[in-house]
Structure 1
Amino acid sequence: AGEIIVSGFRAALQSAQNIKRNADTFVDVITAEDIGALPDRSVAEALQRVPGVNIGRFEKPSDPDRFSVEGTGVIVRGLPFVRSELNGRDIFSATGGTVLSFNDVSPELLGRVEVFKNLTADMVEGGIAGTVNLVTRKPLDRRGTHIAGTIEGNYGDLAEEWSPGVSFNGSTTFETGAGSFGVQFGYANSELVSRTDASQLGDPCFRAPSLDGPCIRVAPVDSGGFAGDPVFDEANFPPAGSVVVPKGAGVRTTELERDREAFSGVLQYESANRDLLVTFEWLRAETSFDTDETSAIALINDDLLFPVPAAGSTFEFDENGIFQRGILSQRIGDAFATPFGRGGIPLELQRFQRFTDSTTEDFSIDIDWSVTDRFRVNFEAQRIDSDLKQDSIISTMSTWANVA
């Protein structure tokens, strides 16, 4: 019978299953074929396909006010403490921490992504939630000459602009009497222009149905947050008949422009008897991320002050006492709350711009030598350089106004 060779998508599934089957712990794998077949624009978005892995949809994990079209941080089984590695080694980018910004790596340059959900004794500590290992493509993984490329375009309906993307990867191997040699070069460029429009209600809290008093809290609130002992418990909170009213509202429009360019080069040598493997690798990622935001946010920060319906209007609530619509204002004549005596609540008009440029460059050498069946030598050396430049401009104007 002839030899049966499995290739294509079924081979990718078989490869991922074999890695999971032979692993010493719980691990999920996304292969290069999976990444290329999915419409994901970053490694983070590809990772969300893994069971138990979620990604953030905010520009930054600590900033829930600004949504991001492109996925950001990775969360494994509900925990954000994820360790990142590149080819099994430490990797970081200039983002203020010792982890890799997954958006800085082009998915086209990866051979597979491994997600370890538990630690083993031979793994470096730090991945409380899990460890994500990005494994780049290698020329000796697929012998012969291979050339691949992609051209794509993404249209943002709110931004009304096209975002192009191109990638190229070429590799070849040479078989000689001394062994096998492999050379590979990869390039990827991806742009993304997006716009998000958002509206929000600020600090909704329980109020008496007469609306003549401040927020009813479980515990008192001062400038530093909750203070003092609780004044209510689960048996009598919220008070019967109370309604929920926001202390402010706002709208914002955020325009984001991201440009990512990545280069990779790999040289490999494997001896004729396959007991020695030497790999030289270079990876460079350049990312620019620009934010342009306009917002109008109205909010009463003092817990002793509270909004009331504007003159001649009323608040509308649903059957559960939740605020539905109305015009938020403050009582005219309160010199502290409305200094100009015209009512309204504090309104902040803001224009915010941030320009970020980051560069991460990684050089590494890996020598794996199987001296005998029971004796193996492994040597690795790595150098990482990261640079971050960030400029921000903010302009703000404050006034008082009724908010509908």
Structure 2
Amino acid sequence: MPNFKPNLLSMAILAFGAISLPTYAQDASSTEDAEDALEEVVVTGFRQSLVNALDKKRASDMVTEQLSADDLGGLPDVSMADALTRLPGISAVRTGGQAAEINIRGMSGGFVFSTLNGREQVSTSGSRSIEFDQYPSELISSAAVYKSPKASLIEGGVAGSVELETASPLERTQQHTFNANVRTMFNDRAGEISDAVEFGHRFSVSYQGKFADDTVGVALGYARLYQPSVSTQFVGLGYTNLVDVDKVEGDTEGPESNPSAEFVSEGMELQHRGGEETRDGYMATVQFEPTDTFSLKADAFLSKFDTESFARGFRAKFEGTSAAYANADVVDNYMIGGTVNRRSSGYTRVEIVNDDNTDYDEVQSYGINADWQVTDAFNVNFDLSLSKASSNFRNGLLWALVSEDANADTPVLDSNVSINYQLNGLSLPDVGFSQADDFSDINKVLVSKYGIYPFVNSDEISAARIDFKYDFDLPVLASIEAGVRITDREYSNDRSVFEYGNDSNFSTSEAPLRLTNDMVEVVSWEGDFAHFPDYLAIDVDKALNAWFPAGIPQPVQTWGAGNSGVVNPDPNSTRSYDWTMLQSGKVFEETLAAYVMANIDTELAGIPVTGNVGVRMIETDQSATSLENVGGDPLLGAQYVKDSAGYINDQFAPSIKGINYTDYLPQMNLNFALTDNDQVRIAAAKVMSRPPINRLASDTSYNISDTGEISANSSNSPSLKPFYATQYDLSYEHYFENTEGAIAVAVFYKDIDSTGIVTTSLPEFDFAGNGFAVPSTIIDELSGVPIPTRNGTYTVAYNDQNGGYVQGVEVAYTQVFNMLPEPFDTLGANVSYSYTESEIEKERVIGVSTVKQSLEGLSKNVASTSLFWNYKDFETRVSVRSRDSFVSDQVAVDAQTVFFSGETVVDYQASYNITDNLGVVFQVNNLTDEPTRSYFNTEDQTGTIQFFGRQFFLGVTYSM
């Protein structure tokens, strides 16, 4: 076991956080036979769900955290991401103001494996990690986080595995239950954003019933969410330029030869973001149990999440060495303030941006399971499943620039560009623009460019598994389990692009658009952002209809004369978009897994011991389509390749590349029942997480120089291997005897082999020997003489070998204080705290410098606290969850890896039961309007400051 810091355990015990398992439905079964059992504690609603979760945790043969709803629709959270953050060691990354990706034990979502009803789920994100905000909490009856695995579970989670479950109606005691929730929603920041939606709603309805002498069970559920998506944000762009800020125009010395050169940001953005998010979720389950020995269950889950949004404001682009810098404020060799001026030959500018984005995501999950108790000792379980996900994201961008005179016959760019700024760490910066008055003047502003950047991907996995279990009546061995699982997965992505105009100047061939008053609205900033200048919000549809009277051009691609391989290029364009073909393609993955596991039930020195020991074997065959630029040589396999926009390239040779490999994962879980209320768990396992499915795509492009040297680049690779770790867990759990509740303390240690994907350069790479269709000679264009080709450098993605440990401690405390006098005997608390540390550091290149960052998703301290109280028909709860700073990605012009500052999010909820069936509920999410704040290497280098507003809910619940 790891050697923890001396104060680690004391820190854990003194700190606190929360698991929250809220519900409002009244469980009628909890009152049955109450008079016949005087010592029985009758609990309903929240307390019932809490007791259910503790019972599941207590009975589990693994280190696990549990969350249980008393009935469908019982969890108040917007999504399962919010609900899971109530559990110890679980934190979330907020996207658009609400939790989407979860982190487990300091590791990011890419290391988290997820299942629904025991079946692997694919994602709309193009990675392995599912987006939990796609899963309505109203349709999930329980969730478990497995922190230690066992051999019978599907492999895939170095951080842990999340199991979501929908309803099993035959397992309920009631014959029929019905639940409905209706809530209106209000965002208090939407009013300061022009055209943003302020009000939304949530609605859910569910039914569970048993028929035909309890041999047939049916569960149906529907949940709808319509909510505003708003934020006001500042985004600092990455420090990718190395510049001598003292250099004056005309100097010839470059920054590379000047040791005093500083890192300068690409620029900054100031934006209003608004839009609408609509999620429709559907769930259905049918169970058939004609006898006590046979059960057949079919279930389906469908969730559609549609987002229509806009982003408006302006973006300052410094443009590195082409700009002139003055009054530079430099801290640790990074410029965090000063004046940036446009040079006569430079491109420094301020872009007025009006983005129009749509994202249509859908996940589907279907399964059928048959369970047959063949004899008293022998059980067979067979399962078939299909999981599908699709995402259609369309990023439409409209750029506008300031001209000297927008009404001129040939408008020219205003060259008087001066940007004064001073970053203020995690507070908003001070920014001034020489063109500030012009940003809202249609006599100065012209639309210069429009672009559409669609990204369509789909992911589908079909699986079949069979499991066997044989029970023994032996002193040590309770049973043997074995099983086989096969999967077939296909992922595809499709890129295309349309662009017209120029975002850094006014194009003469693609003339800019002059704006009219009916196309624009002058927008002012409010609140903390009120000191920033007004700007023009442009109606994208009106602008495009005026710019292209015959209708918006289709999203087609164009290539210039330098890309002669394109059969149908636009001769007037100089753009090159063959990257859309290279970034489009398919990934194929087939697996065969088998396991054997022994379940243990024995005694050791008079202490009952249960658990399991087993091993899981997995064979993986993965491959991806690939396009290799063979210069159009048909002898090397060149074919006509057509993209989704209809344009054709004849330079590429299609192929499929991949690898196969076999893994063995031994795993052990032992539970020692010290007393009826105390137990110790010990677990050890080797675990794995496969790389993101989109990183297995082949996007290799290579070039042959005039001298015959072959070089190639790829940001992905179908040869990437999984990430592996060996982990150990030790936990102690004490369950209170005279009240509901428990206290648990756990320590863990993970020895991780690899934590990420990096790129490496392989000199003198044997391209032909590794299956690349490269020519042996090229023809010199001047002499016509053949020139032999030779191997050069291959830059390719590979598994980072810089691993290390992740270790930590977790404390969870849950109790209802029924020893207090009335009315405080229903006061309760759920508290949890986790401390996690790691030696792992990942290198990231900024400009020409390499900096180190901690493991993505790791917050040293994560805490959450829920206090609840109910008096008769009234119940109230406040939840606080907090986490330290951590590393993750933020999205600006391009994705940037940054540090996110620590945050504390407070939620409040109150409900009142008017009758046994009807109740009202009031809820506030993000009560303090906690923003997200990020920075690059130190807090001086501001990243994102983003405010989302508070969400207020008011509604009614009905159950029967």
1:347 shift after superposition: 1.9
Which residue is equivalent to 2:151? 121
Contact 2:242–2:255 (CA<8 Å) still a contact in 1? no
Say which of 229, 232, 235 aligns to 1:194.
Answer: 229
Matches within 5 A, 1:68-83: 68-80=96-108, 81-83=111-113
Distance 2:71 2:92 in 1: 18
Aligned to 2:36: 2
* Aligned equivalents of 1:149, 1:283: Cα separation in 2: 19
Note the 1:251-266 alignment, pairs <5 A: 251-266=270-285
2:75·2:137 contact (CA, 8 Å) conserved in 1? no
1:170 and 2:173 matched: no
* C-alpha contact 1:83 1:126 (8 A) present in aligned 2: yes
CA contact (8 A) 1:258 1:290 kept: yes
Aligned to 1:11: 48
Q: CA 1:125–1:316 in 2, change beyond 3 Å: closer, same or farther?
A: closer
Q: Distance in 2 between matches of 1:203 and 1:244?
A: 10
Contact 1:327 1:402 in 2 (8 A): no
Task: Tell me how far 1:265 sits from its aligned partner.
Answer: 1.4
User: Compared with structure 1, are the counterparts of its residues 245 and 300 closer, same or farther at alpha carbon in structure 2 (3 Å cutoff)?
Assistant: closer
Query: Residues 321, 167 of structure 1: CA spacing in aligned structure 2 closer, same or farther, 3 A cutoff?
Result: same
- Give the drift of 1:97: 3.3
Q: For 1:11 and 1:373, how far apart are their aligned partners in 2?
A: 33
**Aligned pair 1:329/2:340, yes or no?**
yes
Which one has a bigger Cα radius of gyration? 2
Does residue 1:276 correspond to 2:294, yes or no? Answer: yes
Q: Secondary structure at the match of 1:56?
A: strand
Change (3 A) 1:127 1:194: same
Label 1:120 to 1:323 Cα distance change in 2 as closer, same or farther (>3 A).
same
Distance 1:304 1:387, change over 3 A: closer
> Cα offset for 1:109?
0.7
Aligned residue type for 2:83: A
Map 1:101-250 → 2, pairs under 5 A: 101-143=131-173, 144-160=175-191, 161-174=198-211, 176=213, 180-203=215-238, 212=246, 248-250=267-269
SS at match of 2:377: coil
2:185 maps to amino acid: N
Aligned pair in 2 of structure 1 residues 5, 148: CA closer, same or farther (>3 Å)?
farther
Q: Work out whether 1:354 is the aligned partner of 2:336.
A: no
Q: Which of 31, 35, 39 is matched with 2:68 structurally?
A: 31
Report if aligned partners of 1:174, 1:181 keep a CA contact under 8 Å in 2. Answer: yes
**Quick check: 1:109–1:188 contact (8 Å CA) kept in 2?**
yes
Decide whether aligned partners of structure 1 residues 250 and 35 sit closer, same or farther in structure 2, where only a CA change above 3 A counts.
Answer: farther
CA distance in 1, matches of 2:69, 2:131: 19
Q: Distance in 2 between matches of 1:360 and 1:126?
A: 20
SS in 2 for 1:73: strand
Bigger drift between 49-58 and 107-116 goes to 49-58
In the alignment, which of 38, 47, 54 is matched to residue 84 of structure 2? 47
Deviations 1:115-135 (A, max 9, x none): 112322112111111111110
1:237-271 residue CA offsets vs partner (Å, 9 max, x unmatched):
xx9xx999866333011113210111111111224
* Equivalence map 1:266-345=2 (5 Å): 266-272=285-291, 274-302=292-320, 305=323, 307-309=325-327, 328-330=339-341, 334-337=343-346, 345=348
CA distance in 2, matches of 1:383, 1:130: 22
Distance 2:147 2:325 in 1: 48
CA contact (8 A) 2:207 2:221 kept: yes
User: Residue 307 of structure 1: SS of its match in structure 2?
Assistant: strand
Question: What is the alpha-carbon distance in structure 2 between the residues aligned to residue 82 and residue 221 of structure 1?
Answer: 43
| Percent pairwise identity | 23
Q: Distance in 1 between matches of 2:222 and 2:272?
A: 33
Structure 2 counterpart of 1:70, one-letter code? Q
Aligned alpha-carbon RMSD (Å): 3.5
CA contact (8 A) 1:113 1:133 kept: yes
Q: For residues 245 and 382 of structure 1, do their structure 2 counterparts lie closer, same or farther at Cα, with a shift above 3 Å needed?
A: closer
Matched residues in 2 for 1:193 and 1:249: separation?
25
Q: Deviations over 1:36-76 (max 9, x none)?
A: 66642111111111111111113xxxxxxxxx122111111
> In structure 2, how many angstroms separate the alpha carbons of the residues matched to 1:302 and 1:148?
59
Distance apart, 1:387 and its partner CA: 3.4
- The answer to whether the 8 Å contact 1:357/1:390 transfers is yes
Task: Provide the rounded CA distance (Å) in 2 between the counterparts of 1:112 and 1:11.
Answer: 13
With over 3 angstroms needed to count, the CA separation of the structure-2 counterparts of 1:137 and 1:251, relative to structure 1, is same
- Amino acid aligned to 1:360: V
**1:395 maps to which residue?**
398
Q: Summarize the alignment of residues 61-72 of structure 1 with structure 2, pairs less than 5 Å apart.
A: 68-72=96-100
Cα distance in structure 2, aligned partners of 1:121 and 1:393: 47
Instruction: Pick closer, same or farther for the CA change 1:307–1:116 going to 2, 3 Å.
Output: farther
Closer/same/farther in 2, CA of residues 86 and 294 from structure 1, 3 Å limit: same
| CA distance in structure 1 between the aligned counterparts of 2:74 and 2:283, rounded to whole angstroms | 21
Instruction: Tell me if the contact between 1:185 and 1:265 (Cα under 8 Å) persists in the aligned partners.
Output: yes
Secondary structure, in 3 states, of the residue corresponding to 2:223?
A: strand
How big is the shift at 1:367?
A: 1.2
Deviates more, 1:184-193 or 1:153-162: 153-162
Q: Which amino acid aligns with 2:344?
A: A
Task: Please state whether the residue corresponding to 1:24 is helix, strand or coil.
Answer: coil
Structure 1 CA distance, aligned partners of 2:382 and 2:99?
A: 35
How far is 1:316 from its partner? 8.0
Separation (CA, whole Å) in 1 of partners of 2:242 and 2:255:
15
Show CA shifts across 1:347-374 (max 9, x none): 2222222212222232211111222232
Q: Aligned equivalents of 1:394 and 1:322: distance in 2?
A: 30
| 3-state secondary structure, aligned to 1:57 | strand
Render the CA deviation track for 1:125-162: whole Å, top value 9, x for unaligned: 11111111110112113131101110112211222411
Q: Name the SS for the 2:181 alignment partner.
A: strand
Cα pair distance change 1:362/1:245, threshold 3 Å: closer
Note closer, same or farther for the CA distance 1:295–1:275 as it changes in structure 2 (3 Å cut).
same
Give distance in 1, aligned partners of 2:356 and 2:375.
60
**Counterpart Cα distance in 1 of 2:266 and 2:218:** 62
Show the counterpart of 1:86.
116
Counterpart residue identity of residue 224, structure 2: N
Amino acid at match of 2:215: S
Q: Which TM-score applies when normalising by structure 2?
A: 0.34
- In structure 1, the partner of 2:380 is 377
- One-letter amino acid of the counterpart of residue 23, structure 1: S
Greater mean alpha carbon deviation, residues 74-83 or residues 197-206:
197-206
- For the 8 Å contact 1:83–1:99, the answer to whether it is kept is yes
Q: Which deviates further from its counterpart, 89-98 or 43-52?
A: 89-98
TM-superposed deviation, 1:288: 0.7
AA aligned to 1:164 is H
TM-score by length of 1: 0.77
Name the aligned partner's letter for residue 146 of structure 1. Answer: T
Aligned to 1:72, the other structure's residue is in SS state strand
